[in-house]
Chain A
Amino acid sequence: MNQKPVTEVLARRFLLGQVDDSERQQIESLFISDPEVKRTILLAEEDLLEDYLEGALSNSDAGEFRLRYANTSHQRRKLRIAASINQYALAESLREQPKLSGIQRLRGWVSSPAPRNRWYLIPVTLAVSIIVLVAAVWLVQWHHRRTQDNLSLVVEKELKDLNSSSSLGETPSQMRSIALPPVTLRSVQPPAEVKLEAIYPIIELRLLWPQKEDSLSYQVMLQRVGTSDRFTITDLHLAKDHDRSIVRLRLPPQHLVPGLYQITLTGAATEGATAPTEEYTFTVTR
């Protein structure tokens, strides 16, 4: 049998499940028996992980990646650890850069030829110290905000990827589907419960749309009640589930935390009319 050399490109395809079964078996047997191939695959895996964390993968590749690397709670913890290392290193470099250049500048200035009498250095040093302190506090706060913003961007991108037309066209083997009636229809019943279980890497909410008028597209605003975290997912469409109209919304469980969530589903308004809207709530538990 002719064996293809296992390049990083082929290794990447293999890791994303984009090879046929005979290629898979060939690569796996080399992974176990050939140290060179093992190294190539582990390096390709490391690159893939970095690309995923940077949001550099295409929608379908990101989906495949999640199926293989965020399938169990143990894998999701590994991903969170990997992300923490990268975020820490990035934050450290941001903290180091201004501090070093400032110190270097100050050192250069102090050691430069100047009059002997440097009495004015004391207040200047004090002033510089205060400025450095204020800048450090600001930097820490700025970094904290940036980390939060980055996390929000990652979540928003994941939501967008999961709910793109191509992703919704596929039915992953391990997905939990939950039908969610709007608050108006549910009247006094408690919110639906979404239990986080490691075996489901994706949760699909089937938002029942009771209105007779259909819109060209729909927008979802997802918010955890009591927090300012809001995520908007656009360009969703109605689908038929038996005889009911639904809008499917897929969520990555690793970003859900226990608590009450609210969804506002809005249809695109036709000219001169008010945008049709429905509200849904659900509780996330462990």
Chain B
Amino acid sequence: MPQKPDTPRESLDDLLTWLDPNREVAISIYMDLRFVLSRIFSWNRCADPQGMSDETFDRVASKLPKLKETFEGDPKLFFYGVANNLIKEYRKKVKSFSPVEFIERSVHPPQEVEEERPDLREECLSICLGKLTAEKRQLILSYYSKEKQAKIVHRAKMARELGVSPEALRVRMLRIRAALEECIEHCLDEMEVKGETD
């Protein structure tokens, strides 16, 4: 499990126990929270969603001794409350910057990602498609093989052939696609590191 370097181990353990007494369940909730918080910060146009998710965990961890005694309800909603406060603080900070020639700078500049070469992207796509099972590969390539009106008809046909509802097929494709995109991102990161060390 990824662990934030500046979160003390004991705090993280306490946090996990607060999320759920069962460690495996707690880890799963923790991972999901990291994902949803990052999405929420991203939707609110925060410049560094990952960093702000870390900040949310830090703030909750610092309040944990009191929370354990007083908070009742779904701990996720407490995380959201903290995240929402951070969003408000972020907006306030962005607004307080003086515009220079209509420019507003981000409060937390994000880590830069160099634009990858298209051939590297294609290579990673090929590698990651190769890592999928044949069934998943065929499914995802077929699912995205049509555009506009044709795709609606095609996807309905796919769902019928698979014996699932169109909604279930969409959810399945969403998962495969998310895994594929994550694999390509890791692959590109590795290629970049490799390129730097060569």
A77 touching B116, Cβ below 8 Å:
yes
Contact of A32 among B76, B146, B167, B173 (CB under 8 A): B76
List which A25-66 residues lie within 8 A (CB) of chain B: 25, 28-29, 31-33, 38-39, 42-43, 46, 54, 56
Decide yes or no whether B15 CB sits under 8 A from chain A: no
B145 touching A90, Cβ below 8 Å:
yes
Q: Which residues of B contact A72 (CB under 8 A)?
A: 47, 110, 113
Decide yes or no whether B27 CB sits under 8 A from chain A: no
In terms of DSSP, what is the predominant structure of the interface of chain A? helix
Contact of A85 among B40, B109, B144 (CB under 8 A): B144
Question: Contacts A28-B40, A42-B174, A89-B140; is A198 near B113 (CB within 8 Å)?
Answer: yes
Task: Give the docked Cα–Cα distance between A85 and B122 (Å).
Answer: 9
Interface size band for A = 35 or more
A80 touching B42, Cβ below 8 Å:
no
A177 touching B101, Cβ below 8 Å:
yes
B42 touching A198, Cβ below 8 Å:
no
Decide yes or no whether B24 CB sits under 8 A from chain A: no
B43 touching A15, Cβ below 8 Å:
yes
If A75-B42, A89-B140 are given as contacts, then 5 extra A-B residue pairs at C-beta distance below 8 Å, sorted by A number, are A72-B110, A89-B141, A90-B146, A174-B104, A204-B102
Q: Mark B109-128, 1 if CB is under 8 A from A, else 0.
A: 11111111000011001000
CB distance from A284 to the nearest CB of B (A): 12
Q: Which residues of B contact A93 (CB under 8 A)?
A: 141-142, 145-146
Contact of B177 among A46, A68, A90, A257 (CB under 8 A): A46
B45 touching A68, Cβ below 8 Å:
yes
A78 touching B181, Cβ below 8 Å:
yes
Decide yes or no whether A153 CB sits under 8 A from chain B: no
B113 touching A73, Cβ below 8 Å:
yes
Question: Contacts A54-B147, A92-B145; is A32 near B101 (CB within 8 Å)?
Answer: no
CB distance from A84 to the nearest CB of B (A): 5
Decide yes or no whether A112 CB sits under 8 A from chain B: no
A199 touching B80, Cβ below 8 Å:
no
Interface residues of chain A, those whose CB is within 8 Å of chain B, are 14-15, 17, 25, 28-29, 31-33, 38-39, 42-43, 46, 54, 56, 67-68, 71-78, 80-82, 84-86, 88-90, 92-93, 171, 173-177, 198-200, 204, 254, 257, 286
Task: Give the docked Cα–Cα distance between A198 and B184 (Å).
Answer: 20
B125 touching A85, Cβ below 8 Å:
yes
Task: Give the docked Cα–Cα distance between A95 and B181 (Å).
Answer: 23
Task: Give the docked Cα–Cα distance between A93 and B151 (Å).
Answer: 12
Interface residues of chain B, those whose CB is within 8 Å of chain A, are 33, 36-37, 39-40, 42-43, 45, 47, 74, 76-77, 79-80, 84, 94, 101-106, 109-116, 121-122, 125, 129, 140-148, 167, 170-171, 173-174, 177, 180-181, 184-185, 188
A28 touching B80, Cβ below 8 Å:
yes
Q: Which residues of B contact A204 (CB under 8 A)?
A: 102
Pick from B76, B106, B170, B181 the residue with the most CB of A within 10 Å.
Answer: B106
Give me 21 A-to-B residue pairs in the complex whose CB atoms sit less than 8 angstroms apart, sorted by A's number.
A28-B80, A32-B77, A32-B79, A33-B77, A33-B80, A38-B36, A43-B167, A43-B171, A46-B170, A71-B45, A71-B47, A75-B42, A78-B185, A81-B184, A82-B181, A85-B144, A85-B180, A90-B146, A174-B104, A177-B103, A198-B113
Task: Give the docked Cα–Cα distance between A28 and B105 (Å).
Answer: 26
B112 touching A73, Cβ below 8 Å:
yes
Q: Which residues of A contact B109 (CB under 8 A)?
A: 198-199
A67 touching B102, Cβ below 8 Å:
no
Question: Contacts A68-B42, A198-B112; is A32 near B102 (CB within 8 Å)?
Answer: no
A77 touching B105, Cβ below 8 Å:
no
Task: Give the docked Cα–Cα distance between A200 and B36 (Å).
Answer: 25
Residue of B nearest to A67 (CB): B45
